[in-house]
Amino acid sequence: MSYTFYLLTDPHYLAHESWVEGDPVNGRERGDQIALKATPEIFDSFTEKFLADGDADTLLITGDLVNAGSVIDHKSFQQRLDAIKAQGRRVWVTTATHDYSSQGGRDENIFNAVRYTATGTEDVESVYKTDLLPLYYDYGPADADSVHEASGSYSAKLCEGLRLIMINDNGNGRSHCGLFEDGMQWLSDEIDKANAAGETVLTAVHHPVISPWPIYSHLVEFEMYGGYKELSRLLCEKGVRVIFTGHTHVQNIQKYTDGQGRFFYDVSTTAMSTPEGKMRKIVFDPETKTLHVTSIGIETIKGLDTHGKSAKDYIYSLNFIGLLENALPDLKTDWNKFVDGVRGLLPTDKLQAHPKLWKTGLSAVNNLKMSLPAKFGKRYNGLSRAEIRDLRQMPLLPEVIAVVRRVFAGNGPFPPETVQYKVFTGVTQRVDHIQERLHVKKLAALLPEGQTLTDVLLPFLYNNRTGDDDEITIDL
Ligand SMILES: [Fe+2]
Ligand SMILES: [Fe+2]
């Protein structure tokens, strides 16, 4: 008999009690690039779908449960978790850096638990890191066979023959996230125990273990699971095939294979409150020893007035790229409306101070056509003169926006057969060629070792990894 569970991540839950309408909460929402104010309703919309699946037994949530470690948010969030448990389902969580605060400078964590008032913020009671294990004991650790007290990690049985190890970070996510030495030893021992008992082991942790794209770990390695190389080695060595992660807010599935052909997958799930927010439905088949992962989004936000917008369009309208796309039509017709629309994305004070200059510049960018980059890279893109001429009809900006829109959603829009692929890779190949000849140090420093600009661009254009970030069947 197969076994079904779900996973969602990074709810960044903000209780209704934690804000009143005004610039402070709206500024935070824009800065965070998630639909912060709607997180309770979005969470309900997802969990309603989980509860509607009669086969689904357990809901996993891999950290960044609340916005910034406020007791009010945790309590309100737990009421929602309790409502799920009251329906006979299990909820297992890990916590992460957004779940506690550094109120009073108690550590390096940058978050402060606040309530958003009409004019600013006020400090509210916060949770410290060591409070998290007792606070969430009934959401995972209580069902576990083994708990690593220092980190709050735990090992529990999902069903007969299937074990899940939920790894909680020891560190504070600034100078270190991930397990310390004793935590790694505990993890290694737990995997050994499970293997000896003939169980299949799955793992989950908040921070990424395989970089979603090569450029990510190159530029922001501190955002990776601390000791990700060591953990990768351990998973390969002990035959663990899957780790579920969050944090990057990116829908992404990556396979890592070591020198001896041993492998595992990092299944990273996008944050719940992003425009293409998804949760994973995971089905374990003990007969074939496979794990089938699919993805489920929401169409509407239950209990929220979105002015008739779908969940995707509503959340997208709060997103920087959505703000820009929605404001662009006003660029020609209504400057003030345009400036208002891009608040938080562009420096509105500068836009207002020099309207002519900005309007001319932005209009010029808006009027660019795909023929321009096509001509720049024509030695490399294989496009004929006639094809390049046709591209004079295709505005450039919407094609760039299409790529950026899918950065968090996974499965980039332009596979190799598309004209956009040819145009964009033509440009990067020409830059790579120039780089090869001139060795521009600044550009070289931006690129991961041994990679070209084209290599860096490809994963954003299309899924050049497993082929699909939303679905996979993994041989355990
Ligand atoms: Fe997050
Ligand atoms: Fe995070």
Question: Tens of pLDDT along 435-460?
Answer: 888 888 888 888 999 999 999 999 99
Distance CA 177, CA 375 (A): 46
pLDDT of residue 461: 98
Q: Determine contact, residues 258/233, Cβ cutoff 8 Å.
A: yes
For 137-156, the pLDDT digits (tens) are: 999 999 999 999 999 999 99
Query: Distance, CA 299 to ligand 2 centroid (Å)?
Result: 25
Give the ligand at the shortest distance from the Cα of 10.
Answer: 1
Residue 4 has a pLDDT of 98
Residue with token string 């661009």: 457
CA 67 – ligand 1 centroid, Å: 9
Between 175 and 307, residue with greater pLDDT: 307
**Residue 223, both tokens:** 């955002």
Domains of the chain: 3-304 (3.60.21.10), 368-476 (no CATH)
Residue 69 Ramachandran class (φ > 0 left, ψ -120 to 50 alpha, else beta): left
Question: CB-based burial of residue 360 (10 Å sphere; 0-12 exposed, 13-18 middle, 19+ buried)?
Answer: exposed
Residue 393: its pLDDT value, please? Answer: 96
362, two tokens: 């932005």
Distance 96 CA to ligand 2 centre (A): 6
CA–CA separation, 375 and 127 (whole Å): 56
> Which H or E element spans position 283?
strand 279-285
Q: Give the pair of three-digit tokens for residue 100.
A: 């506690």
Query: If you measure from the C-alpha of residue 444 to the centroid of ligand 2, how many angstroms do you get, rounded to a whole number?
Result: 29
Cα(103) to centroid(ligand 2), Å: 18
Give the model's pLDDT for residue 172: 62
Distance in Å, CA 247 to ligand 1 centroid:
4
Q: Give me the numbers of helices (H) and strands (E) for the chain, helices first please.
A: 20, 15
Residue 313 Cα to chain centre, angstroms: 18
Average pLDDT of span 7-25: 97
Span from the CA of 163 to the centroid of ligand 2 (angstroms):
24
Compute, in angstroms, the gap from residue 215 CA to the centroid of ligand 2. 18
Cα 387 to ligand 1 centre (Å): 43
Residues 260/192/93/64 CA torsion (nearest 10 deg): -40
d(CA 11, CA 77) in angstroms, rounded, equals 10
> What is the distance between the alpha carbons of residues 170 and 176, in angstroms, rounded to a whole number?
8
Enter the pTM of the model.
Answer: 0.95
- What is the 3-state secondary structure of 290-332? EEEEEEECCCCCCCCCCCCCCHHHHHHCCCHHHHHHHHCCHHH
Distance 153 CA to ligand 2 centre (A): 16
**Phi-psi region for residue 140, left (φ > 0), alpha (ψ -120 to 50) or beta?**
left
Specify burial of residue 134 (Cβ count, 10 A radius: 0-12, 13-18, 19+): exposed
Phi, psi of 318, deg, nearest 5: -95, -10
C-alpha dihedral (189, 193, 198, 201), degrees to nearest 10: -40
Q: How far apart are CA 147 and CA 161, in angstroms?
A: 19
Q: In the prediction, which pLDDT does 436 show?
A: 87
What does the alpha-carbon distance between residue 390 and residue 217 come to, in Å, rounded to a whole number?
39
Which ligand places an atom closest to the C-alpha of 208?
Answer: 2
Angle between helix 453-461 and helix 419-438 axes, rounded to 10 deg? 160
Residues β-bridged to residue 147:
154
189 Cα to the center of ligand 1, angstroms: 29
Ligand 2 center to 418 CA (angstroms) = 34
Distance 389 CA to ligand 1 centre (A): 44
pLDDT surpasses 70 at 173: no
Whose atoms come closest to the Cα of 225: which ligand?
2
Ligand 2: centre distance to CA 368 (Å): 37
Among the ranges given (75-79, 339-343, 397-401, 403-407), the one the predictor scored with the smallest mean pLDDT: 339-343
Q: Position of tokens 């090992």?
A: 155
Q: Tokens 């829109």 identify what position?
A: 405
59 CA to centre of ligand 1 in angstroms: 18
Q: Using the mean position of ligand 1's atoms as its centre, give its distance from the Cα of residue 232 in Å.
A: 22
The pLDDT tens digits for 319-376 are: 888 888 889 999 989 999 999 888 888 888 999 999 999 999 999 999 999 999 999 9
Residue 171: predicted pLDDT: 65
Question: What pLDDT is attached to residue 174?
Answer: 63
Ligand nearest to the CA of 33: 1
pLDDT at 45 over 80: yes
The answer to whether the beta carbons of residues 237 and 200 sit under 8 Å apart is no
- Give pLDDT, residue 445: 86
Query: Whose CA is closest to 192, among 201, 179, 180, 183?
Result: 201
d(CA 317, CA 183): 42
Q: How far apart are CA 380 and CA 108, in angstroms?
A: 48
Higher-confidence residue of 342 and 6: namely 6
Report the side by side order of strands in the sheet with 279-285: 90-94, 56-62, 3-8, 279-285, 290-296, 472-475
Coil, helix or strand at residue 372: helix
The arithmetic mean of pLDDT across residues 464-473, rounded, is 97
